[in-house]
Amino acid sequence: MKVLRAADRVAVPWKNGGGVTRGVAAHPEGAGTADFAWRVSLADVVEDGPFSGFPGVDRILTVVEGTGMDLTVDGRRRLVDQRFVPQHFTGDAPTDCRLLAGPVVNFNVMYRRGHPAPSVAVVRGELRVDGPALIVALDAPARAGGVHLAPYDAVLTGEGSTPVRAEGHTAVVTVPLLPSAPTRPGI
C-alpha cells in the first residue's frame, strides 16, 4: 500500500491555463498529461471558462466542494449541482463551465480509451475494497488498511482486500494496474 498525502501535492496549471490541479496518482507512476493510461487529480475551478481538452480520454468528474457547475459538453447543457455524484463525459468534447455560486473543487478521474476503465464510487461507513484501488478521503477523515487519511489524503492499494472506514465521503477508484511498457535496449 502506498500512502499519498495531500500536503505533498503541488498545484500546477491546467493544460489550458484556466485553473490549477493537484495530481493524486497516475499510471504509469509519474506520467504527465500526455502519457498517462489513467490519472486522478483534484482541480480548483475558480472562474467560468473552458475545460482543457484531452483527445482520446474519458473523464469521471465529481464535485467535492462548492455548489456546482453548469457545463456545456459538446454543445449540450449538463447541470452538475450535486456533490459526491460521479459524472461521466468525454474529455475531447469542447466543455465550457459556468460556476453556479462560486468556486468548486472537482475530483477528476481521466483514462485513455482503449485501456481498461477505472470506476468511481463515493462511499461512507465501513466496507472492504478488493483488488487494486485508490482510496481518497474527501470531506472527513477515513482509515484504509489501518492508515489514517485526513481529507484529500489517499492510499493506493495492491491486490488483496483492504478494510475502509469512512467518517464522511470517501472516493474508491478501481485502478487497473497495467504492465509498464517494456524497455527497449539502446541501439
Q: pLDDT class for 152, splitting at 50, 70, 90? A: very high
Percentage of residues in the chain with pLDDT exceeding 70? 94
Residues 126 and 150 in one domain: yes
Q: How far, in Å, CA of 141 to CA of 75, rounded?
A: 38
For residue 180, being part of any structural domain is answered with no
Sign of CA dihedral 11, 23, 104, 49: positive
Residues 108 and 130 in one domain: no
Residues 80 and 127 in one domain: no
Q: How far, in Å, CA of 108 to CA of 120, rounded?
A: 10
Minimal CA–CA distance to 108: which of 77, 69, 146? 69
Residue 187 has a pLDDT of 33
Residues 106 and 144 in one domain: no
For residue 44, being part of any structural domain is answered with yes
User: What digits encode the pLDDT tens for the residues 45-64?
Assistant: 999 999 988 999 999 999 99
β 142-144/87-90 pair status? unpaired
For residue 88, being part of any structural domain is answered with yes
**Predicted TM-score of the model (pTM):** 0.90
Minimal CA–CA distance to 121: which of 104, 103, 133? 133
Domain total in the chain: 2
Residues 106 and 123 in one domain: no
Structural domain boundaries enclosing 66: 10-112
Residues 79 and 159 in one domain: no
For residue 183, being part of any structural domain is answered with no
For residue 133, being part of any structural domain is answered with yes
Q: How far, in Å, CA of 78 to CA of 111, rounded?
A: 21
Q: Is a pLDDT exceeding 50 seen at residue 181?
A: no
Q: Is a pLDDT exceeding 80 seen at residue 23?
A: yes
Residues 44 and 107 in one domain: yes
Residues 136 and 108 in one domain: no
